[in-house]
Amino acid sequence: MRIAVVGATGEVGRMMTRVLQERGVKPGGIDFYASARSAGATVEFHGEVHRVKELTRGAMEEGYDYLLFSAGGAVSREFAPTAAASGSVVIDNSSAFRMDPAVPLVVPEINGDLLRGYGSGVVANPNCSTIQMVLSLYRVHERFGLDTIVVSTYQAVSGAGRSGMDELGDQMEGRVAPRKFIKQIHLNVVPQIGALLDSGFTDEEMKMVDETRKILRDPGISIFPTAIRVPVMYGHSEAIYVRTRRPFDMDSLAVAIQDSEDVVLSSGMVTPLEVAGGDDVHVCRLRSFDDSSFLMWNVADNIRTGAATNAVRILQKHVELNRAG
Ligand SMILES: NC(=O)c1ccc[n+]([C@@H]2O[C@H](COP(=O)([O-])OP(=O)(O)OC[C@H]3O[C@@H](n4cnc5c(N)ncnc54)[C@H](OP(=O)(O)O)[C@@H]3O)[C@@H](O)[C@H]2O)c1
CATH of the domain at 171: 3.30.360.10
- Strand pairing report for 29-34 and 2-6: parallel
The predicted model scores a pTM of 0.97
Range(s) of the domain holding residue 277: 129-302
Verify whether ligand 1 is closer than 6 Å to residue 16 (CB atom): no
User: Which residue, judged by its Cα, is nearest atom 36 of ligand 1?
Assistant: 7
CATH of the domain at 30: 3.40.50.720
Task: Report which ligand 1 atom has the smallest distance to the Cα of 10.
Answer: 21
**136 and 258 belong to one structural domain:** yes
Backbone angles phi, psi at 87, to 5 degrees: 100, 5
Verify whether ligand 1 is closer than 6 Å to residue 35 (CB atom): yes
Kindly tell me if the per-residue pLDDT of 41 is higher than 90.
Answer: yes
Contact predicate 242/146, CB 8 Å: yes
Task: Give pLDDT tens digits for 164-203.
Answer: 999 999 999 998 899 999 999 999 999 999 999 999 999 9
Task: Give pLDDT tens digits for 207-232.
Answer: 999 999 999 999 999 999 999 999 99
> Is 128 one of the annotated active-site residues of the chain?
yes
List all residues 6 or more positions away from 76 whose beta carbon is below 8 Å from its beta carbon.
Answer: 69, 90, 92, 94, 96, 97
**121 and 138 belong to one structural domain:** no
DSSP string, 238-271: EEEEEEESS---HHHHHHHHHTSTTEEE-SS---
* 295: three-class secondary structure by DSSP: strand
**135 and 252 belong to one structural domain:** yes
> Is 284 one of the annotated active-site residues of the chain?
no
